[in-house]
Amino acid sequence: MGFLDRIRRPVLVLSAALFLGTSDVRAARWLVVSSANAPGDKETQWRTDFTGINPNATDAAVKVTLLPPGGDNSALDINADVTLPARGQNSIPNVLQSLFSRGGSGALLLDSAASGLVLTSRTYNQQTDRQYGMLLPAIPEAEILQANETGHIIFVADSSRYRTNIIYVNASATSGKITTTLYDRNNNAIGMLSRDVPPYGQGQFNAFSATGAPSTTGARAEVTGTVAFAAVATVIDANTGDPFAVFARRGATASSDLLLPAAVHDTGDKGSKFRSDVRIFNPGSDAATVTLSFYPRGDSTASPETRTVPIPGKGLAVLDDILLETFQREKAAGAVRMSSTRPIMAVSSTYNEAPEGTSGQDLPAIAVDQLINAGDVARLSSLIGGAFRTNLLLVNPSATPLTLSLTMKSTGGQELAKKNFELKAQSMDQINKLITDYFGLPADTSGFLEVTTVSGARGESPQADPVKYWVTATVIENTSNDPFQVTPSIERKPTPPGGGDCATFKMPRTGLKITYNATSPSGGGETTTTYTSVSETHTEAQSVSPGPYGPINSTSFLDYELVDSPYQGFLLLKRVEIRTQVPVLGQLSVVVTFSPNLLFGPGRQWCTGMKWDTPSVTETVVTTPPGTTTTFQSPAFTGEVIAANTQITVAAGTFAVGHSRIPVWTADGIAVSEVWTSIEHGVAVKQVTTLPKGGIETVELVKIE
């Protein structure tokens, strides 16, 4: 894709919002589905603590807005401000009482202009001498389900042991409806409930009694909405009141290669007895065959023990006490890799089985291609001392051993201890009592952990795939032995390209004139662009496109740099300016700058199989008129070169092209674009974008001069 054309869609989305007199550009936003300061069923007493990590060199402000249940919250007027210290952590105990001086419950809407924040909450049942709880991470806005999108909750249960509540939040300023349907393991609908939800409204219900579903421990739920929304199931032990959380996830997150970081059937510290129940869902209509491979703790296992599980289309595999019942292991712990003939979703509940009831945590299976890359920074928040102990679970599914650097930091961001950990190839390992026994720190130490890679970043060949790993913390309350798991927040670092077949792409020449025809559900038309100036650091181009009141003329200015090492000519975008002459409205100017520079993808050298991770950056947008300045956080994304040198025929002719796939952030959410780029001309020949709300947008080159 040419340098101008790569950003054409995001810029047009921004401009369209300005023409309408509104703007979708704002600070980054997250949603905590539930928080509480209230009594519940079975004499439970619910509280929520809020925690944020700020990896930046300056303090970060977070605006916290409470969304009480049952009402219209469109005013967004119950607010409090929280400051996260530079390179530090801030924890707010009993957030509803501390920030808002109120009881009850509600969702939390979080807004901040800062980049890279790690925001989580912990909701727990506070008993006289112990706690039972779960971690509820803040959901980034890009991961919120869109209107008419289906979310899958693959572990709901009702029995003498369990009850399940479903909590939902309308993430928009308009009223809508949320519909929940329960299915048994064979995809038979067993219950359904539709509820009206006001703007930014929150609600909850018992998943079984409210939908009329019969009791079962092998069920799942599908949730849909007429508005953007988030939903989570909390599965609660009837005796201890201990919850674990299972979030509604879109079907696109399914993968044919998943990693469950830990499963166990063994005794633990303080008389605990841990077990793991697993649910695997096949969201497709065709049957899937899943191969489960077990990697015992502490061993390097090139040929793991396997089991095969068939799952029909839309079926749910119910694997209770998986190590004992499926692998016949009476005393074991380790990781389970799931290789499937069809994309699947999986989650486990790992719990302590005690006379007074169970207490446990959810552990979702992670798609292998979403694991932590060597070079990334992983951060784990909410590591609490005092009445808690922390165990660290580490998994390396690759054939390359890793040396990891583990750094424990205080809430203020000071380095407390740092050690290297050797993680064997194809293994799972566990560090018990991380804070006290491993780092040798006082038992009341609280803070967060940073994990980076010291060695083992790539194989011997420079074209080898990057090594990936995973790390999860389980924080365990000493009296109840109740764990909650802390999923890492990953700061993605650019990955140097790999792959085989390569091609060198030319830049667009000065004077090049190209015409595109666009078709989409909202309309289309032709746009003609002429490159008036092209250099190694700057491009200018003039475009004419159709508008509602006549042709729209615009001039684009791009400042960038081509980095030779280590990214072999990757494009780092610095600044974009669009000056547009709009009939009736006059001249508009939009200037976007990036901090740090935005890694946009390969510029000159493309190789088949090349992948790159673009981290989130701060974008500053200056719009004239009226002369406003807005900052927001762009989402991180992963791009891929499918083929570096292939051919395509379009209306303008046949071209030797590179074929790439990149996510694109639109006003409606994340879209995915497939792009074919001319090797000779350095411009897009064709672009096909799957839109977040359904439908396809196609842009095709029809003329080149």
pLDDT digits (tens, 9 = 90+) for 668-688: 667 778 889 888 888 889 988
> Is 68 exposed, middle or buried, given 0-12, 13-18 or 19+ CB atoms closer than 10 A?
middle
Residues of the chain with CATH 2.60.290.11: 371-491
DSSP state of 55: -
Calpha distance 669→692 (Å, rounded): 6
**Distance between first and last Cα of the chain:** 17
Give the per-residue pLDDT at 1: 27
Cα–Cα distances (Å) from 49 to 89, 108, 215, 412, 413, in that order, read 13, 12, 32, 18, 19
Give the per-residue pLDDT at 419: 96
Calpha distance 629→651 (Å, rounded): 41
The 3-class secondary structure across 158-205, one letter per residue, is CCCCEEEEEEEEECCCCCEEEEEEEEECCCCEEEEEEEEECCCCEEEE
pLDDT digits (tens, 9 = 90+) for 475-503: 999 998 888 999 999 887 655 444 457 78
Longest dimension (CA), the chain: 79
Lowest mean pLDDT among 320-334, 368-382, 460-474: 460-474
Do the strands 447-455 and 402-410 form a parallel or antiparallel pair, or are they unpaired?
antiparallel
Lowest mean pLDDT among 22-26, 160-164, 345-349: 22-26
Cα–Cα distances (Å) from 689 to 13, 132, 225, 553, in that order, read 14, 45, 23, 24
Calpha distance 559→110 (Å, rounded): 33
The single-letter code of the amino acid at 689 is T
Give the per-residue pLDDT at 550: 67
Average pLDDT value for the chain = 86
Q: Give residue for tokens 């950003």.
A: 7
pLDDT digits (tens, 9 = 90+) for 304-315: 999 999 999 999
Cα–Cα distances (Å) from 452 to 137, 280, 386, 428, in that order, read 22, 31, 26, 17
Calpha distance 546→552 (Å, rounded): 6
Give the per-residue pLDDT at 25: 32
Calpha distance 215→232 (Å, rounded): 19
Query: 564 versus 344: which is more confidently predicted?
Result: 344
Q: In a 3-state reduction of DSSP, which class is residue 68? A: coil
Q: 176: which strand partners?
A: 197
- Write out the E strands in 55-188: 60-67, 79-84, 88-92, 104-112, 118-126, 131-137, 139-140, 151-156, 162-170, 176-184
Highest mean pLDDT pick, 213-227, 341-355, 375-389: 213-227
The 3-class secondary structure across 331-380, one letter per residue, is CEEEEEEEEEEEEEEEEEEEEEEECCEEEEEEEECEEHHHCEECCCEEEE
Give the per-residue pLDDT at 254: 93
pLDDT digits (tens, 9 = 90+) for 168-219: 999 999 999 999 999 999 999 999 999 999 999 999 999 999 999 999 999 9
Q: Give residue for tokens 């032990």.
A: 237
Torsions phi, psi for 251 (to 5 deg): -60, -25
Lowest mean pLDDT among 83-87, 392-396, 488-492: 488-492
What count of other Cβ atoms lies within 10 Å of the Cβ of residue 384?
22
Give Cα 109 distance to the centre of its chain: 17
Cβ–Cβ < 8 Å for 118, 379: yes
Cα–Cα distances (Å) from 529 to 8, 509, 553, 554, in that order, read 11, 12, 10, 9
Residues of the chain with CATH 2.40.360: 3-25+499-704
Calpha distance 30→479 (Å, rounded): 33
The 3-class secondary structure across 417-444, one letter per residue, is EEEEEEECCCEEEEECCHHHHHCCCCCC
CATH number of 3-25+499-704: 2.40.360
Is the pTM higher than 0.75?
no
Cβ–Cβ < 8 Å for 221, 283: no
**CATH assignment of 371-491, among 3.40.50.300, 2.60.290.11, 3.30.2350.10, 3.30.420.40:** 2.60.290.11
Calpha distance 432→29 (Å, rounded): 35
Calpha distance 27→32 (Å, rounded): 16
Give the per-residue pLDDT at 494: 57
The two tokens of residue 572 are 């780092």
pLDDT digits (tens, 9 = 90+) for 261-297: 999 999 877 777 889 999 999 999 999 999 999 999 9
pLDDT digits (tens, 9 = 90+) for 580-635: 876 655 788 888 888 888 877 777 778 787 777 777 788 888 888 777 888 777 77
